[in-house]
Structure 1
Amino acid sequence: MPPINLILVGLGPHARRIYYPLLEKYAARNELRLLLVVDLLDQEATIRSFLKVFALQPDQLYFGDPDWRGSETLAPDVLNILNAFAPQADGIIISTEPKAHKAYALWAVDHGLDVLMDKPISAPLDVTNRIGAAQRILEDYEEIDQHLAQSSANFIVQCQRRSHRGYQYVHQYLRDFVQEFQVPISFLDIYHADGMWAMPDELFTRENHPYKYGYGKLMHSGYHFIDLFCWLADVNNAIPHKRPNNADVFVRHFNPADFLHQLEQTDYQRLMKTDRFAPAFAPEREALAESFGEMDVFISAQLLRDQHVTTTASINLQQNSFSRRASPEPPIDVYKGSGRVRHERLTVQVSTLLTIQVHSYQAYGDGTRHADLHGAGHPDHFDVYVFRNSGVVGGSPLEKFSFGEQASQRRLTDPTYLGHNEAAREEIFLDFLQGRTSPSHFSAHRRTNILLSHIYECIALGRNGVSPRSCFPL
């Protein structure tokens, strides 16, 4: 087969870590050709320096006007260069800041190009403060979906947990169990903390995983866990007469203004021996931070069949959490250099019959390996525990599966291996590259965006002095 001709839009920290090494890997196998890379002019020096160490070079680099950052439409010059390359292209990878996702997605779908796009689908500005902006999340999804219905494009969203071997095992186990015993998932608890410690001045300036545009954790790594919840909860659809048809959601959150009061200027003086953050604690800066996006979000939800509860859920997502960052200096790598370490937990109950738990806890920052320890703390730690009421449903009362330890063996043979989550990202990438049916196709994300829209609506309600609760049909 001839190589697939691709366009890459956005070569920021995430794309440099994930996509470009994959592009080089599969270009070396003659599976793809990189026609064009598009980014902003203020990123040119960084990107040209990054590309020097790679054999794969795009046919053309194009850098647009940074004044268009955050625009909901494509700049005329960027549109012109995309249109010029569209006849040669087979697909596009969209890895920009979320504010630009929708515009590039609509352009690609309307030109019939296959799409691999980072989550989220869209990120309306000021979504934590304006109910209308929160509602736009679902409206944007539906608009793209309408265009996709008229297109030949294969549209895949990069949500790697749908292709993660451990989570796929959990999902399939639940599908089989619920189908066999006709008892729905009764409880889901999801916890994720990533330890992204932004220094006080960075709260006001970050472009990668920002807060200043009125969105935060949910549009950063949080989307993955809203999607994980919806993907697992959909298992209950196997029991038509118990399938939920409405939801009740209550949300609390923690924002950068709270963070400035939790870790004060005197705390940074004591912990990091610096007073350089004093300007960030000026009253007018703290007032500005009140409108910023969420750092942490705590969601309590119930899915109901008419008036009866089918599934109760707790989803707790944090960035104000255990971190390995120990320096006040700006990190060179803003994607993984802010002390990020993953702490991830899942508990699923199927009434009195079954519990499945996932535990995945890192203790080391990116690039640090602890080869002698395969349990909690290891970069690849990912254990699944299955508890069965064996006297009723048979089987073993306890089984443990160490997916992380299994995955880590790949480090011995594959120099491109970065971790089990990144291996799952590669599977999604291959779905896109090879035109495969993907578990993370755009159409699978409708429920996720319904829920995400209502979660942000709850946050906006709370910020406007109203109870942060939303009840809605499914």
Structure 2
Amino acid sequence: MELFIVGFGPVAGYKYSRCIHNAISQGHLSRYHVIDRESQQQVVQARLAKLPIQPATCTYIPERVLQNGPDAGVEWLIQQGVFTKSEVKKKLVITTEPQSHGTYIKFALAQQFDVLVSKPLTLPMREGVLDYRALLPNTNAIAAASIEARVNTAVLCLGRLHEIYEQKLRQPVALMMDRLQHPITSVHVKTASGVWNLPSEFGQREDHPYKYGYGMLMHGAYHYIDVLARLLLMNRRLFPTEDFVIVLQGFTAGPLDQQLRTGGLEAMTTGYRPELSELQEDLPYGETDIVASYAMKFRSTGRVLCLGTIALEQTTPGMRSWGPFPEVPYNINGRLHCTDIDVRLGTVFSIAANVTKSPIQARLGDTDIRGMNSATVVTRANARLARTQGFIRREHFERSYGNSYSYTAEADVFERWLLDRPTQSDFSSHVPSCALLDGLLRLAADDWRGSLEIDFNYPVPDWPTLSDDPWYTHMADDIAFSSEHGPRKPVIKNGVNGTKG
């Protein structure tokens, strides 16, 4: 088979080149091709020059063609015969700005290409501005078309195969839900992404832009919306016939609020120029921050099953202390993530994960954006009822720079898709996440007031492999209620008929 990559940005260059190299070296992939816009030719060629295996072809779409939109770009590629040079199986990777995703996905599915796209799945536009009302209908249509095409699809999303969110959080939650037949009763998600754009940049940036009416919900916040949606739908396993509805209330802030909220700190940055503080006020800016509370209810009775809060904020501490963007390929505004996810099963069990990125100690200078990843997981349980080995446990994990949790999770999705293995991230599985995203986008809209309802009737997500962590093995009564002091070996449940100590 052969691979086509549309949009060879810095992410494609350093995140996925190793997967491509391995697939070609092992004989799974015959060759790959790069497609980008003409204005990016020199930058793309510089990235490619550093890779061990070069693409078979590079095609650059003229800017005059792209002035007429992504549809014109796809038509130009077809006319050039880019996709018809061989009869082997084709896979298409789409890592363009999200505004172009829908066009390339539609083409790929019509041609029965396997297709992988960076999040979000689609970003519909109308007259140059986000058309949030079209998001969910478009997502449903894409999901249905992908099923009909019977091809291998995936969305690059860090939460699906994340070591902490999937293995250390969702796995224990699934185990306890199965053991106790107990629902999730609250989920709290808080991410502080440490993104600081200076005022002028909101109207100038073409990558991660805000000037087209969308903001951080369609950028990095999607990852955590996706994690939340999958956690909430785990309750479907216990209530297969109930209609779920989510009621949301919330508030947002945006670029027009930022200078008030940051105290004009941009004047203190290195290399500051006055024009960096000039915000163009006549643009339909998207949000920088959103906070919300929600209740997941049974529609039939109105009874509340799950409560929670959502805090997706960018205006939080990061690494940026510079004015103009530095000459580095990635993270030019010094993002510094800190995310907390807290899941609770009523009065019997809770687990909370904190994942933090922090600058490395030996920084090379003011604009050194390298960072270390660490995670802390705190588990609290009613040990007698939950049958755990204790009431509370704290675990700490670390990842070095260049091997972050998000990097390895997304690379794993990419590699599994490339090798035709299950990714847990096909297009259909992202419909519930987009339903929740749709609700948050409606909250963020200028014309929205009050609370809103989201129909949330979707299947149970992929059920995690149940944890084999010995901390979750059975605590027998003679240990839990022993009057003896000093260390004793725990009694561990061994199958159905016996125990071993």
TM range (shorter): 0.7 to 0.9
Which of 35, 39, 47 is 1:38 aligned to? 35
Give the aligned partner of residue 7 of structure 1: 4
Moved more, 344-353 or 331-340: 331-340
Structure-2 change in CA distance of 1:309 and 1:69 (3 Å): farther
1:24–1:55: 8 Å Cα contact kept in structure 2? yes
Q: Measure, in 2, the Cα distance between the counterparts of 1:29 and 1:237.
A: 40
1:241, distance to aligned residue in structure 2 (A): 6.5
1:260–1:286: 8 Å Cα contact kept in structure 2? no
SS of residue paired to 1:150: helix
Give the aligned partner of residue 298 of structure 1: 291
Q: Equivalent residues in 2 for 1:50-65 (5 A)?
A: 50-65=47-62
1:224, distance to aligned residue in structure 2 (A): 0.6
The answer as to 2:391 corresponding to 1:400 is no
Give the aligned partner of residue 473 of structure 2: none
Give the aligned partner of residue 219 of structure 2: 220
Q: Equivalent residues in 2 for 1:128-167 (5 A)?
A: 133-167=131-165
Structure-2 change in CA distance of 1:21 and 1:355 (3 Å): same
1:69, distance to aligned residue in structure 2 (A): 6.4
Which of 435, 438, 463 is 2:420 aligned to? 435
Letter of the structure 2 residue corresponding to residue 316 of structure 1 = A
Work out the number of aligned pairs and report it.
444
1:277, distance to aligned residue in structure 2 (A): 2.1
Structure-2 change in CA distance of 1:164 and 1:111 (3 Å): same
Q: Measure, in 2, the Cα distance between the counterparts of 1:269 and 1:135.
A: 39
Q: Equivalent residues in 2 for 1:127-276 (5 A)?
A: 133-169=131-167, 170-240=169-239, 243=242, 245-263=244-262, 267-272=265-270, 274-276=272-274
Letter of the structure 2 residue corresponding to residue 332 of structure 1 = E
Structure-2 change in CA distance of 1:271 and 1:166 (3 Å): closer
1:208–1:334: 8 Å Cα contact kept in structure 2? no
> Residues 194-213 of structure 1: CA distance to partner in whole angstroms, max 9, x if unpaired?
21221222111112211111
Which of 374, 397, 403 is 1:418 aligned to? 403
1:86, distance to aligned residue in structure 2 (A): 7.0
Give the aligned partner of residue 362 of structure 1: 357
2:142–2:427: 8 Å Cα contact kept in structure 1? no
SS of residue paired to 2:278: helix
Give the aligned partner of residue 372 of structure 1: none
Q: Equivalent residues in 2 for 1:302-341 (5 A)?
A: 302-306=295-299, 307-333=302-328, 335-341=330-336
Q: Measure, in 2, the Cα distance between the counterparts of 1:317 and 1:367.
A: 30
1:94–1:118: 8 Å Cα contact kept in structure 2? yes
Q: Measure, in 2, the Cα distance between the counterparts of 1:185 and 1:438.
A: 25
SS of residue paired to 1:210: coil
Give the aligned partner of residue 93 of structure 2: 93
1:74, distance to aligned residue in structure 2 (A): 4.3
Structure-2 change in CA distance of 1:243 and 1:351 (3 Å): farther
Q: Which runs of 5+ in 2 are unaligned?
A: 365-369, 457-501
1:271, distance to aligned residue in structure 2 (A): 4.7
Task: Provide the identity percentage.
Answer: 22
1:334, distance to aligned residue in structure 2 (A): 5.8
Structure-2 change in CA distance of 1:317 and 1:362 (3 Å): same
Give the aligned partner of residue 111 of structure 1: 111
SS of residue paired to 1:320: coil
2:246–2:294: 8 Å Cα contact kept in structure 1? yes
Q: Measure, in 1, the Cα distance between the counterparts of 2:127 and 2:252.
A: 13
2:190–2:312: 8 Å Cα contact kept in structure 1? yes
Structure-2 change in CA distance of 1:329 and 1:367 (3 Å): farther
> Residues 46-75 of structure 1: CA distance to partner in whole angstroms, max 9, x if unpaired?
111121122211111111133526935242
Q: Measure, in 1, the Cα distance between the counterparts of 2:350 and 2:311.
A: 19
Give the aligned partner of residue 452 of structure 2: 470
1:268–1:275: 8 Å Cα contact kept in structure 2? no
Between Structure 1 and Structure 2, the one with more helix by share is: 1
1:344, distance to aligned residue in structure 2 (A): 1.0
Q: CA RMSD in A?
A: 2.7
Q: Measure, in 2, the Cα distance between the counterparts of 1:301 and 1:199.
A: 32
SS of residue paired to 2:290: strand
Letter of the structure 2 residue corresponding to residue 471 of structure 1 = E
1:129, distance to aligned residue in structure 2 (A): 7.8
Moved more, 350-359 or 234-243: 234-243
Q: Measure, in 1, the Cα distance between the counterparts of 2:128 and 2:190.
A: 21
2:143–2:431: 8 Å Cα contact kept in structure 1? no
Q: Measure, in 2, the Cα distance between the counterparts of 1:210 and 1:334.
A: 17
Letter of the structure 1 residue corresponding to residue 391 of structure 2 = P
SS of residue paired to 2:307: strand
Structure-2 change in CA distance of 1:367 and 1:168 (3 Å): farther
Letter of the structure 2 residue corresponding to residue 318 of structure 1 = E
Give the aligned partner of residue 459 of structure 1: 444
Q: Measure, in 1, the Cα distance between the counterparts of 2:449 and 2:361.
A: 40
Letter of the structure 2 residue corresponding to residue 58 of structure 1 = P
Letter of the structure 2 residue corresponding to residue 275 of structure 1 = R
1:238, distance to aligned residue in structure 2 (A): 1.5
1:127–1:215: 8 Å Cα contact kept in structure 2? no
> Residues 227-249 of structure 1: CA distance to partner in whole angstroms, max 9, x if unpaired?
10011111111212785511111
Letter of the structure 2 residue corresponding to residue 224 of structure 1 = H
Q: Measure, in 1, the Cα distance between the counterparts of 2:357 and 2:404.
A: 12
Which of 334, 343, 363 is 2:338 aligned to? 343
2:144–2:428: 8 Å Cα contact kept in structure 1? no
- Structure number with greater Rg is 2
Give the aligned partner of residue 125 of structure 1: 125
SS of residue paired to 1:400: strand
Letter of the structure 2 residue corresponding to residue 429 of structure 1 = F
1:74–1:103: 8 Å Cα contact kept in structure 2? no
SS of residue paired to 2:236: helix
Q: Measure, in 2, the Cα distance between the counterparts of 1:261 and 1:126.
A: 31
1:126–1:214: 8 Å Cα contact kept in structure 2? no
1:25, distance to aligned residue in structure 2 (A): 4.1
> Residues 85-133 of structure 1: CA distance to partner in whole angstroms, max 9, x if unpaired?
4744421111111001111111111111111211101112379987xx2
SS of residue paired to 1:381: strand
Letter of the structure 1 residue corresponding to residue 24 of structure 2 = A
SS of residue paired to 2:373: coil
1:339, distance to aligned residue in structure 2 (A): 0.6
Structure-2 change in CA distance of 1:72 and 1:140 (3 Å): farther
2:289–2:313: 8 Å Cα contact kept in structure 1? yes
1:128–1:215: 8 Å Cα contact kept in structure 2? no
Letter of the structure 1 residue corresponding to residue 333 of structure 2 = S
Moved more, 327-336 or 166-175: 327-336
2:34–2:57: 8 Å Cα contact kept in structure 1? yes
Q: Which runs of 5+ in 1 are unaligned?
A: 370-376, 412-416
Letter of the structure 1 residue corresponding to residue 205 of structure 2 = R
Moved more, 117-126 or 441-450: 117-126
Letter of the structure 2 residue corresponding to residue 233 of structure 1 = L
Structure-2 change in CA distance of 1:241 and 1:55 (3 Å): closer
1:341–1:366: 8 Å Cα contact kept in structure 2? no
Structure-2 change in CA distance of 1:332 and 1:86 (3 Å): farther
